[in-house]
């Protein structure tokens, strides 16, 4: 059948957030990620796949295409059999009774995708993103999250307004904070991670009481820091290990 001009136009437009929001659609690629989405509550709009990709969804949603056409529409270096269009689900209501991760303007799609996977692994089901945080339906986030996107409720909201009202204990990762290995960490609470370049914004800092830090074990170098995704990994591990 091949791809129609309109389909091609739609797929290309979805690399931009405004068109994702307009069409309420996003792109996922590759066998693993697409199958995770097909096996979730997410709804598929269309699948563009090569002949030997097998799936059980209704034929009217499947468009068989050549390897060459797949290369044209793919944003991956090595396209992997299938590109799917999925519907962006409605946001669920935020639950406020467990460990929650909140992101203060994370920019890098790879970092957000990795943090979504970390939430999935460590049983964190609610992820809050400040409105300026990169869109979780950005294609690079979808690919980096490896399907974990389907299992985490992600909420975009005004982080300062939210934190000024919450009754949960709040924690920021901060160089000057208490050694996390010695801190008493609660079961429920909000762990806030900051922007890659600027850390936690001043507005958020004034709203949060607890500062924790991962101590350096190497010699001190002023320029040294941990990547936000690896810092999240260590801190989540500390909250959860008990």
- Residue 226 touches a second copy, criterion: CB under 8 A: yes
Residues numbered 119-148 forming contacts with a second copy, rule: CB under 8 A = 119-125, 146-148
Question: Minimum distance between the CB of residue 4 and a second copy, rounded to whole angstroms?
Answer: 32
Considering only 50, 64, 110, 205, the residue that binds a second copy (CB under 8 A) is 110
Question: Minimum distance between the CB of residue 221 and a second copy, rounded to whole angstroms?
Answer: 7
Q: How far apart are the first and last CA of the chain?
A: 55
Are 74 and 105 in contact by the 8 Å Cβ rule? The answer is no
Going by the DSSP 8-state scheme, the letter that residue 76 receives in this structure is: S
CA count, 13 A, side-chain hemisphere, 34: 24
CA distance 203 to 34: 39
CA count, 13 A, side-chain hemisphere, 112: 30
- Residue 188 touches a second copy, criterion: CB under 8 A: no
Minimum CB distance to a second copy smaller for 22 or for 32? 32
Minimum CB distance to a second copy smaller for 22 or for 216? 216
Candidates 49-57, 64-72, 169-177, 225-233: pick the segment binding a second copy (CB under 8 A).
225-233
Are 88 and 20 in contact by the 8 Å Cβ rule? The answer is yes
Residue position matching structure tokens 């909250």: 239
- Residue 118 touches a second copy, criterion: CB under 8 A: yes
Residue position matching structure tokens 């949960």: 168
- Residue 186 touches a second copy, criterion: CB under 8 A: no
Q: How many CB atoms lie within 10 A of CB 155?
A: 17
- Residue 176 touches a second copy, criterion: CB under 8 A: no
Candidates 16-24, 67-75, 87-95, 220-228: pick the segment binding a second copy (CB under 8 A).
220-228
Residues numbered 28-57 forming contacts with a second copy, rule: CB under 8 A = 32, 36
- Residue 153 touches a second copy, criterion: CB under 8 A: no
Are 47 and 34 in contact by the 8 Å Cβ rule? The answer is yes
Q: Interior CA angle at 36 toward 110 and 33, to 5°?
A: 40
CA distance 212 to 182: 10
- Residue 15 touches a second copy, criterion: CB under 8 A: no
Minimum CB distance to a second copy smaller for 24 or for 187? 187
Four-residue CA torsion sign, 177, 180, 182, 188: positive
Considering only 14, 29, 44, 114, the residue that binds a second copy (CB under 8 A) is 114
Give the total of residues touching a second copy (CB under 8 A). Answer: 40
**Residues in touch with a second copy (CB under 8 A):** 32, 36, 110, 114, 117-125, 146-148, 151, 181, 214, 216-219, 221, 223-227, 229-234, 237-238, 240-242
């Amino acid at each position: 059948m091949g791809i129609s001009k309109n389909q091609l136009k739609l797929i290309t437009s979805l690399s931009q957030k405004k068109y994702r929001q307009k069409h309420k659609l996003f792109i996922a690629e590759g066998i693993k990620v697409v199958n995770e989405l097909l096996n979730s509550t997410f709804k598929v709009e269309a699948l563009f796949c090569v002949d030997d990709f097998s799936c059980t969804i209704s034929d009217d949603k499947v468009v068989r295409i050549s390897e060459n056409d797949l290369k044209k529409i793919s944003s991956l270096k090595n396209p992997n059999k299938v590109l799917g269009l999925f519907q962006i689900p409605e946001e669920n209501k935020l639950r406020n009774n467990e460990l929650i991760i909140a992101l203060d303007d994370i920019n890098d799609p790879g970092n957000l995708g990795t943090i979504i996977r970390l939430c999935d692994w460590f049983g964190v089901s609610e992820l809050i993103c400040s409105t300026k945080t990169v869109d979780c339906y950005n294609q690079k986030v979808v690919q980096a999250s490896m399907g974990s996107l389907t299992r985490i409720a992600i909420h975009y909201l005004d982080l300062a307004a939210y934190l000024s009202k919450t009754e949960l204990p709040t924690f920021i990762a901060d160089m000057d904070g208490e050694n996390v290995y010695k801190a008493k960490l609660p079961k429920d609470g909000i762990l806030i991670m900051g922007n890659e370049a600027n850390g936690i914004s001043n507005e958020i800092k004034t709203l949060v009481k607890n500062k924790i830090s991962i101590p350096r074990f190497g010699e001190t170098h002023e320029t040294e820091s941990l990547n936000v995704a690896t810092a999240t990994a260590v801190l989540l591990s500390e909250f959860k290990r008990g």
